[in-house]
A and B are shown apart, each in its own frame.
Chain A
Amino acid sequence: MAFEPLLTRNIHRPGSESIDVYLAAGGYQGLKRVLKEFTPEKLVEEVKASGLRGRGGAGFPTGMKWSFLPKGREKPRYLCINADESEPGTFKDRLLIEKDPHLVLEGIIASAYAIECHTAFFYIRGEFHQGYRTFEKAIAEARARGFLGKNILGSGFDLEVIVYRGAGAYICGEETALLESLEGKRGYPRIKPPFPAIVGLYGCPTIINNVETLANVTLIAERGAAWYAAIGRPPKNTGPKLFCISGHVKRPGVYEAPLGIPFLELLNEHAGGMLHPSRPLKAAVPGGSSMKILPASKCDVLLDFDSLAAAGTSLGSAGGMVMDSGTCIVGALLNLARFYAHESCGQCTPCREGTGWIVKILSRLERGDGRPEDVDRLADIAFRIEGNTVCPFGEAIAWPVDSYVKAFRDEFEDHARRHACPMRAGA
């Protein structure tokens, strides 16, 4: 079954980021169809029927999220687009923003129409300089053609999209920290409940969607829920997906495939297989850095939300990372833990203190000052963080630590016993 690229269909066209190229390829037809044929309520139902699940990491059904908005209209509603893509190993949204911004923008306009919102905020990672310029230009082009502003395409629907650049904190990709940041405050995740759909940006009902999610809404707007729901592994894992793959592979990059593609197919066919023929696969994190690791023996999995959950990990943001047999797992975890310790916002106790402690223990293990009790201690610290924090950042450090230690316990113990990193010693 040949898969026709949907999300990446334009990226190889010269000038793909310009509205002319986008229109020539049939762009904004979906939006026109939606504005003409759908009421907002019907469009929410359509997105529900498509089975689309959020592409930001949690995989929450998008239509259902939209339907959580309160019925009243006393306050304005906001749509925030989470373009703060900062997960190590995840670089899919960047591709869409830089190469096909109108695909995203069309989805934003259709989604704003569905949730009856007239101001959307595009929160883009501060380091995405190119993406920021591209997207601002796309907004200007769309406004000039009547896709944004007052009375879009004569439908009576108004929308403004405001681009806001983050200041460099990973935590601002967490949806409520994003809202705080957008409000001009320190990027601290909020206590939930209340959820943003009820009390969000500036205290108003707010929907926060990932960039790729909204690009998928464009596809649904173009060709309908029934068509969309047949892609992937229906009923619960539908649609195309951008998979990032990095690490010890021949061709790291972003690849589009339907949900449910086997990981080994992505690795061997799309990414060209392992980088060094002599070094086989040791482990992979299919979902992204904050998800659980799978040892090579368990890597024969399908890449979709439910299959990976059954395998004990999670699809996350699909930022797959591949490690070959030359990788020191302790060193890999140390590298990861350093990132999380650096990015912990410091708001709540377990994450603030726990991430730093994990780094200190891993550093000792890696440089040869490890102790036998360190291995259990790492798992115990992860256990004491998990579930006890304000936001999912706690799990983002607890899951890797716990899973790396569980899957490669020998290697950790070896570090402690030998008072050295065996990989480094052998190199």
Chain B
Amino acid sequence: MSDPQTPEPRLSPPPHQPNVPSPVASTGGPAAAAGPAAALAAPAGAPVVPGTAPAPGAAPALPQTGPDEVALLIDDRPVVVRKGTTVLQAAEKAGILVPHYCYYPGMSIAGNCRMCLVEIEKMPKLQIGCATVAAPGMVVRTNNERVRGVRAGIQEFLLINHPLDCPICDQAGECRLQSYEKDYGRGFSRFAEEKVHFPKRYDIGRSVLFDAERCIKCTRCIRFCDEVSQSHELALFSRGDHAIVGTFPGRPLDNPYSGCTADVCPVGALTWKPFRFKARVWFLKNVPSVCAGCARGCNVNVATFRNRIHRMTPRVNAEVNTYWMCDAGRQSYDTLYSRPRFERPIVRGLPDATVEQALDRAAALLRDTAKTGGKESVAAIVSARLSLEDHYMAKRILGELAGITRLAVPPHEEGEDDHLLIRRDKTPNARGAELLGLGAPSSGRVREILDDVASGRVKGLVVVGEDLLDLAGVAPATLDRLEALIVLDAWKSPTVERAHVAIPSCGYGEFEGTMVNFQGRAQRLRAALRPPGEADPAWRILRDLGRRFGLTSEYATAQAIFDEIAAKVPAFSGLTFRALGDLGAPVRGAAVPGAAGAPGTVA
């Protein structure tokens, strides 16, 4: 496990990697003090490329700046940043992590933890890096003895009333208090008094539990509820060391984004109930992926342990979800475990059939039905929850090779688009289906097919990734009229139980693939789990079915399929599977007006 799952952007070295001391001593002394000052006084001569290390003993010079830029020295490294950038952000740009608790990108500056105090030349007091705006020629020291001394003091203050229950704390391993204590703390306590006591299991909301003793009052959670979710449930009550985060009478922490309060909590005070005591974080394997809960496609880390997802947390993507994700998405993996999975193929009349036998039977049924009833008598319903690769193979195999002309994609809509991330469209890849020519999700087209099934005009139906009986107004008797019902799905749904042939496919987190969100951004989902039983990605099952219809192309991986899509479908031209990386890329001409960019501020 290389990176503990933290929702924060890790743009700079983690705190346990001490900043490399610069060749010029930064610990004071007249010579050292004269160095940077002399550099500032010197006229800007040859421009220095930022990041080039000054020769040992030479005074680092400040690079020239554009009109909207500011050059400053941080720990003797020249940094150029946009006007308005804070010292903390500028340091981050220079690869220097200024430790902090209360600062969080995308929210207002509170300046209360005092951990990011740094020394700035010509200012008698230390200044907080999070709120001090970088000024031209500023000389900042983030790691000298004075600064480290203050950090040790802050650490001590934060710990005197903090319970040392790390062994049973879910945050242990990704706790700021722990890591900064290792870097700056004294390692033992001088506090010989009774700690202040608070409620330990404060049921603060539907999905979040609060341990008020662990709280360091950084107010990140309060600011999140005020500024991001805009639900205003949390506030600080009481004063001094008795201050406690709490809710108002009758208004628990219950908003669609409440889980983010646990993400932003730098300590173990707010914990996400479904994750409590599930796994130690250092055992978790984090797989960068994308949530499939709605058309937003929030970037996430899928954390697994022993082939089971234990949590999903937001991964920063300025274009899609910034720093956040919704609670429904966070627990969207629950469906993997809440319904019985479908693990072995089913062929009616053939017990213990193999996948090969199932595919043979499916191909034969499709051929026979088309022969007796004509092309119009076979239809397919393909889910918009499948990947782009699945869609492409559905179109290629079912549409082109098996000759099915009637393809429909059912919509799944619920609620409304909200101010932040949640989309009414609950299908994660409707744009992808549309771009590949499967058509946009349409209840009308699905309805027509089902009406024709009821009237006997459609006798053969292929269903990929949908439970038809879950759709409104479909009676089980309708499906019983079919002569050939072929189903690919991850769950043992009532549709699967009525199928003539059913083949298990992968569920969320079990396949590699891409999806296109509502903004027209292609993003990669990564396999985090081994699929159960004989389940396979739908594209692979469809490919193997295609072999029965004369398919010769190899299509060995999702990557190969995506790259063919990029070569053949104009909207995807110029993209490669690899180049999508962790953050995805917009498809050509697919941007939805007004949908570009993500809500909230990106620092």
Whether A345 touches B193, Cβ cut-off 8 Å, given contacts A350-B153, A353-B161, A388-B153, is no
Of B128, B157, B194, which one neighbours A354 at CB under 8 angstroms? B157
Q: Describe B's contact surface by its main secondary structure.
A: loop
Whether A384 touches B239, Cβ cut-off 8 Å, given contacts A349-B113, A349-B158, A377-B190, is no
A356 within 8 A of B: yes
A191 within 8 A of B: yes
B111 touches A349 (CB 8 A): no
Whether A352 touches B194, Cβ cut-off 8 Å, given contacts A346-B242, A346-B243, A388-B153, is no
B193 touches A349 (CB 8 A): no
A169 within 8 A of B: yes
A389, B114: Cα distance in complex, Å: 7
A342 touches B240 (CB 8 A): yes
Residue of A nearest to B159 (CB): A353
A364 within 8 A of B: yes
A348, B158: Cα distance in complex, Å: 10
Whether A356 touches B131, Cβ cut-off 8 Å, given contacts A377-B190, A384-B150, A387-B125, is no
B216 touches A349 (CB 8 A): yes
Expressed in whole angstroms, the minimum distance between the Cβ of A51 and any Cβ of chain B is: 25
Whether A350 touches B114, Cβ cut-off 8 Å, given contacts A360-B194, A377-B190, is yes
A357 within 8 A of B: yes
A360, B160: Cα distance in complex, Å: 12
B319 within 8 A of A: no
Of A356, A384, A388, which one neighbours B241 at CB under 8 angstroms? A356
A390 within 8 A of B: yes
Of A186, A384, A389, A390, which one neighbours B156 at CB under 8 angstroms? A384
A-B residue pairs, 4 tightest by C-beta: A346-B243, A384-B153, A353-B157, A356-B241
A356 touches B196 (CB 8 A): yes
Interface band, chain A: 20 to 34
A341, B131: Cα distance in complex, Å: 26
A343 touches B239 (CB 8 A): yes
Subset of 21 A-B contacts with CB under 8 Å: A191-B111, A191-B128, A343-B239, A344-B241, A346-B236, A346-B240, A346-B243, A347-B217, A348-B114, A349-B154, A349-B157, A350-B153, A350-B157, A353-B161, A355-B240, A356-B161, A356-B240, A373-B190, A387-B125, A388-B117, A390-B112
Interface set, chain B 105-130, CB cutoff 8 A to A: 109, 111-115, 117, 125-126, 128
Q: Mark A380-421, 1 if CB is under 8 A from B, else 0.
A: 000010011110000000000000000000000000000000
B202 within 8 A of A: no
Residue of A nearest to B192 (CB): A371
Residues on B with C-beta less than 8 A from A49 are: none
A361 within 8 A of B: yes
A353 touches B160 (CB 8 A): yes
- Using a Cβ cutoff of 8 Å, how many contacts connect chains A and B? 90
- 6 more CB-based (< 8 A) A-B contacts, given A344-B240, A353-B161: A345-B240, A346-B240, A349-B157, A350-B153, A353-B158, A388-B114
B238 within 8 A of A: yes
Of A344, A357, A388, A390, which one neighbours B154 at CB under 8 angstroms? A388
Expressed in whole angstroms, the minimum distance between the Cβ of A381 and any Cβ of chain B is: 8
Residue of B nearest to A348 (CB): B112
B248 within 8 A of A: no
Whether A186 touches B114, Cβ cut-off 8 Å, given contacts A349-B154, A352-B243, A360-B194, is no
A348, B131: Cα distance in complex, Å: 14
B283 within 8 A of A: no
A66, B367: Cα distance in complex, Å: 91
A169 touches B160 (CB 8 A): no
Interface set, chain A 316-353, CB cutoff 8 A to B: 341-350, 352-353
Expressed in whole angstroms, the minimum distance between the Cβ of A221 and any Cβ of chain B is: 36
A225, B238: Cα distance in complex, Å: 46
A384, B236: Cα distance in complex, Å: 25
Expressed in whole angstroms, the minimum distance between the Cβ of B89 and any Cβ of chain A is: 16
A341 touches B156 (CB 8 A): no
Most buried by A among B154, B157, B192, B242: B157
Residue of A nearest to B193 (CB): A360
Expressed in whole angstroms, the minimum distance between the Cβ of A272 and any Cβ of chain B is: 37
Residue of A nearest to B240 (CB): A344
Residues on A with C-beta less than 8 A from B128 are: 191
Residues on A with C-beta less than 8 A from B131 are: 191
Residues on A with C-beta less than 8 A from B156 are: 384
A390, B102: Cα distance in complex, Å: 13
A348, B242: Cα distance in complex, Å: 13
Expressed in whole angstroms, the minimum distance between the Cβ of A389 and any Cβ of chain B is: 7
Most buried by B among A343, A371, A388: A388
Interface set, chain B 156-173, CB cutoff 8 A to A: 156-158, 160-161
B112 touches A357 (CB 8 A): no
A352 touches B117 (CB 8 A): no
Of B117, B154, B193, which one neighbours A361 at CB under 8 angstroms? B193
A346 touches B114 (CB 8 A): no
A191, B235: Cα distance in complex, Å: 19
Expressed in whole angstroms, the minimum distance between the Cβ of B517 and any Cβ of chain A is: 37
Residues on B with C-beta less than 8 A from A354 are: 157
Residues on B with C-beta less than 8 A from A384 are: 150, 153, 156-157
B236 touches A364 (CB 8 A): no
A357 touches B114 (CB 8 A): no
Whether A387 touches B239, Cβ cut-off 8 Å, given contacts A349-B114, A350-B157, is no
Expressed in whole angstroms, the minimum distance between the Cβ of B397 and any Cβ of chain A is: 62
Residues on B with C-beta less than 8 A from A191 are: 109, 111, 128, 131
A292, B150: Cα distance in complex, Å: 23
A357, B159: Cα distance in complex, Å: 11
A354, B196: Cα distance in complex, Å: 12
Residues on B with C-beta less than 8 A from A357 are: 157, 160, 191, 193
A333, B446: Cα distance in complex, Å: 80
B113 touches A348 (CB 8 A): yes
A25, B348: Cα distance in complex, Å: 110
A346 touches B217 (CB 8 A): yes
A388 touches B112 (CB 8 A): no
Residues on A with C-beta less than 8 A from B117 are: 388
A387, B235: Cα distance in complex, Å: 27
Residues on A with C-beta less than 8 A from B153 are: 350, 384, 388
A355 touches B241 (CB 8 A): yes
Q: Mark A83-125, 1 if CB is under 8 A from B, else 0.
A: 0000000000000000000000000000000000000000000
Residues on B with C-beta less than 8 A from A343 are: 239-240
Residues on B with C-beta less than 8 A from A352 are: 157, 217, 240-241, 243
Residue of A nearest to B219 (CB): A347
Of B125, B192, B238, which one neighbours A346 at CB under 8 angstroms? B238
